[in-house]
Amino acid sequence: MPYTKETLLPLVEELKQRNNYENIAATIQAGVDFLTGQSFEIPIFTEVAAAQPLGRFTALLQAPDLWNENDRLVLQLISSPVTWEACKDAFLKTLIPTLDLPGTSSSIVQRFSNFTNFLQQQGCTPEEIGSAMIDHSGHGNNYDLSPLKFSPLRKFLQDLIKSADHQTVSAYLQRWKAKGWNSLFYRLLAKGHPDKEAEYLDSIFRSTAHAAPLMKVMLQQNFTRFEPLIENAVAQWSSAAAFNNALSGYYLLAGHLPEKYLQKMIAAAYSFLDSDANDADNKENELAVKELLKHDLQNVVPYLQQHVAGKRSLHSGAFQAIADALQNEAVPLLLQALQNDYDARTVLPVLVQLDPKLYVDELWPFTLHSLKSVRSLVAPVLATHPQALEKAGELLQHKKADQRLTAVQILCRINTPEAHQILQATLHKEVNDDARDLMIETLGAGQSGSVEELVAAARKRNKLSKPLDRSIDETFFPPLYLLDGTVASADTVRFLLYRMSRAQGIKPDLEAKQLLQQVDRARSSTFGQYLFQLFLDSGSDTKLKYLLMIAAATSDDSLVVPLQTTVQHWIDTKKFKLMEIGVGALAMHGSHAALRAVEFFTRRYRTKKANVGLAAMAALQAAAEEQGVNVHELCDNIVPTFDFENRYKTFMIKDEVYYASLDQNFKPIFFNKKYKLLKSLPAAVAPATKESFKSLAKAIAEVVKIQAERFEQFLVMQRKWKVNQWKQMVQQSVILHLLATKILWAVFDENGQLINCFSYKEDGSMTDIADAPVFLPANAKISIAHPVYLESGVLQCWKQKFIAENITPVFPQLERPVAALVPEAALNTLVLDFEDLVMQTESFARHMEQKGWKLSEGMEGEYLYSWYKTNEEQQLEAIIEMSSIYQDDSFHYRLGSMYFVDKTKTSLRWFNNVDKEALDCLLPLKNVPPVFYSEAIMDLASNS
C-alpha cells in the first residue's frame, strides 16, 4: 500500500525548515501526492533543477534486498530521464553505503542484484555502476595500499572488475585517470588487471595533485618495486621544467637512495628557486632552501644573498630554515630581507629568536610600522636595548596613539621602577584606552589611585562627558550604594560602565574592580536587578554585555536564580554566545550559590551540548583564578554547609538549644543540649522548623549525590591533594567529612610511589589495614585508592575491613573491576580486543555518556565515528573507533581499534588512518597511566 501522510510528515517538516522551501514546495507536494496515492501519475519534469528536490525522497529507501512496494514507488518517482539525472547523486549517496550492511549470503546476492538491475534499467553501463560504487563507498580517499579487507561491496567490486572485458577496463581507466587518485580503485585494478597498474599510476603521477604523498607511501611500502616508475615520472617533470614536482620526487627518492639521487635533488632545488613557479606560498620553496642548507651549505649562502637582494620569493618556513642552519650568522641575511620589504610578519618572528645584540639597533624604525602585529613583535626585543628607557620615553610623547601604545609595550616589558615611574606619570593623561589598560596591568590597579582620583582623571580625559550608549538612560538608574553608606555619584556610575566595557573575557576591569570592591551588594541589589532587566530589554545585545557583568557584580544572591534561569533559556534556544556571557556573569557574581549554578552547568552538559559545558568550565576556572585556587579546590569550597559547624547545626525549641547532625546515611539526627541522641524531633518543635528539616534532608541527599559523583571522578582522574589541602577539604563540610569516612585513601611519596592506604574515621583519626595509626608525611600526596594499585590479598583485606566496620561506599571503589596491562602488550599502541563487537546504538551511547565519553563524527560517507574520553589533568585521550551498521532492522555500532593519544602532540583524531602505529602522538600502552588504562578498558568491557 502507498505511504501514509504521517510516514512522510517528518521528512516534509524537515524540508520546511529550509530557507528555500517555498521554491521547492510544489515539487515536494507532487512527490508526496504520488507516494501517498493521491495521484497515480508520476510527476514529469523538463528541467533538471525543477526535478532535483525529489532526490530528498531517496532517504526513504531501505537496503536494496529489503525493497518493497513503497520502495518501488520511490524508484518510480525518480526513474523518468530528467528526474533520474537530477536525483542520481542523491540515490547513489544514500544507497551505496547500505550495500556493506551485514546479511545472509542470499540477502547480499539479492541486494546487489536489485541495485544493479535498477541502475541498468536507468541506462547505466557496468563500468558506470562499478565506478559509482567506488566513488560513493568512502573507501578510496586515502593512500592505503594494504591488501583489501573484504566487505560485501569490495568483494562485489573485485569480481566485477576482474571479469571486465578489455573495452570495459579501458572505460574504467579513462574515468579514473580523469578523476584522479583513488586507493580502492587502484587496489581493485592491481588485483584484477595487474598489467594496467603502471598505466594508471603513470597518469596519477603526471597529474601531480596526489603525486608526492602517494610516492612517499609507495616508496615506504616497496622501494624496489616502485622506484623505476617514480624515477621515470620525476625525470619527465624535470624535462618539462616542472621543477617543484621534480624537487619533491627527487627528495623522496634521495631519502631512500642518496648516492643516486642527492645531486639530482640539489639541481632540482636550484632550478625551482630560479623558476617562475617559485613563490612565497609554495611549500617546495621551503623544502628547496632547507635541503640546500643541509647538503650544499657553501654554495647556497651566497646564492640566498643574491636571491634576497633580487627580492625573489621565499616561504616563511625558508626563513626559519635559514635561522636554524646558520644561527646568528643568519642575522645579516634576515636584516637584508627586512630592508628589501619582505613581509616583516614573516621575517621578524625568526629574527627575534637570535642574539638581539646583533640586530636590535635596526628595529627602532619598526615602531612606526603600520601593522600592530609588527610593532608588538619588536617591542619586547627593543626593551633589551641599552637606551630602551630613554627611547621609549620619547616615543611615549608621539602624537599617534599606535606609537604611544608601542612605547607602553616596551616600558611594560622593561618593568623596572624607572619604567614604572614614566608610566605612572603618563597614566592619567593617556587617552588611548589600550595603552592605559596595559599600563594598569603592569602597574597594578592600586597604583592608579583611589576611586575618586580614577573618576576625576577619567573626567579630565573626557571619558565621562556622554553616556556610553545612546540607548541607555542613566537618569533612571536606582542608587548604587557604597560600603561607607554613601551613594555613588552619576560620574562614578558612568565610570563603572566605561571601565567594565573595557573588561576582557569574564573578568572585571582592574580599575572597575576597585570600585566594585566598595559596593554594598545587599543595598545595591535593586541597581543590579535594574541593569539585568535593561540588558534583557535591549534584546540581550552582546555589545552591552557589560550591563550583565555589572549587574552580577553589584547584586546579592537574589539575582542568582533569575540569571541561572535566563542562562538555561539561552541554552535551550541555542543562543550560545549569550550563554557564554551568562555563565561568565554567574562566575563574576562569585557567591557560593552562583558558583554552584556554574558548576551545575559543567556537569549537566559534560557530554551533550559540550560547548555549554566547556564555557561553564572556563567561567569556573576564571572564578578559581580570581580566588587563587584551582577549579577542584573552588568546588570543594562551595559545597553547602547548611549552617553546620563542627558537624552540628544549632536550632531552638521553646528557648531550649538543640543540635542536629548527620548519621552515616546522611540523614539528620537530633541531640539535646547535653548532646544526648534523641529518637526524633521533640513534639514541641514548631511546624516551620519541622518542615525545614524535611527540606534539609532532601537538599542534603542531592548534594551527597553530586559530591559522590565528583569523588568518583577524582578516583578516575587520580586527583592528588597536598596533606594540608586534604585535611582542610575533609574538615570544611559535614558532607565531605562523612564522605571521606566511606572511602579508602592512598598516600603517595614525592616520586608518585604508593606508601600506604588508610581509612578516615569520624573523629578525624586515620588507620591502616592493621588498625595502626597513620601519620601523613608533610611532602606526601593523598589520593583516592584505586584497586588497580592494590595486590589482590591487600584488596581483599580492605574489603573485609569495610564490611566488618559497616562502611557503605557511596560509589564503586574496592569492588571496581580493573584491567591490568599484560606485559606482552606493553609496547603496543592499539587495543584490538573490541574489534568487530556490535552494540545497540542507543544503549551503548547512553552507557558511554554516563562514563564520560563523547561522540565525535568521522567520515560521513562510511558512517565512521569515534568515542573519546579525556584526562585533562594528564592531557591524555582514549579513543575507540567504530562504524554505524544496519542490523536487525536498526542501526548498531561496530567497534574498531582503541588507542591512547598524548594531547600535547596533536589536536587531531583519526577515523580511518591505516598507519596509526607510525604516529608519535599515540602512546605505547606501557606509558598510559594504569588507572586511565583500566578505566577506559572497563568502560567498554562492562558494556560488551
3-state secondary structure 76-109: HHCCCHHHHHHHHHHHHHHHHHHHHCCCCHHHHH
Sign of CA dihedral 848, 850, 854, 859: positive
pLDDT mean by block of 10 residues, the chain; 944 residues: 82 78 87 90 91 91 93 94 94 91 87 95 94 86 80 90 94 93 92 93 79 87 91 89 88 94 94 78 84 93 91 87 93 90 88 90 87 87 88 87 88 88 82 81 72 89 88 92 94 94 83 91 95 93 93 94 95 91 94 93 83 89 88 90 86 89 90 87 87 90 91 90 91 90 93 91 90 90 93 92 91 91 89 83 83 69 69 86 63 81 73 52 90 92 76
pLDDT the model gives residue 907: 61
CA distances from 84 to 12, 36, 71, 193 (A): 21, 20, 15, 32
In the prediction, which pLDDT does 944 show?
64
CA distances from 922 to 125, 872, 904 (A): 45, 16, 11
Reading the block at residue 430, the C-alpha cell is 593617556
Q: What pLDDT, on a 0 to 100 scale, did the predictor assign at position 209?
A: 62
What pLDDT score was predicted for residue 859? 44
Q: Report in angstroms the alpha-carbon separations of 179 from 144, 158, 172, 628.
A: 17, 20, 10, 59
Which pLDDT does position 281 carry in this prediction? 66
pLDDT in the model for residue 433:
80
Q: How far apart are CA 288 and CA 2, in angstroms?
A: 66
Query: Residue 861 has what pLDDT?
Result: 38
Which residues are registered as beta bridge partners of 895?
882
> Rg for the chain (alpha carbons), in Å?
36
Sheet holding 766-767, edge to edge: 721-722, 781-784, 744-748, 754-760, 766-767
Q: Is 399 exposed, middle or buried (0-12, 13-18, 19+ CB in 10 A)?
A: exposed
Alpha helices in 415-505, H assignment, sequence order? 417-427, 433-443, 451-460, 490-500
SS3 content of the chain, % helix, strand, coil (to 5): 60, 10, 30
| DSSP output for 239-282 | HTT-HHHHHHHHHHHHHH-HHHHHHHHHHHHHHHHHSTT--TT-
CB 781 within 8 A of CB 722: yes
Distance CA 204, CA 780 (A): 62
Write down the pTM of the prediction: 0.67
3-state secondary structure of 684: coil
State the residue for C-alpha cell 596533606: 723
Burial class (CB in 10 A: 0-12, 13-18, 19+), 373: exposed
Q: Which residue has the cell 606509558?
A: 927
**Nearest Cα to Cα of residue 60 among 48, 76, 49:** 76
How far, rounded to the nearest angstrom, does the alpha carbon of residue 722 sit from its chain's CA centroid? 30
Query: What pLDDT score was predicted for residue 367?
Result: 87
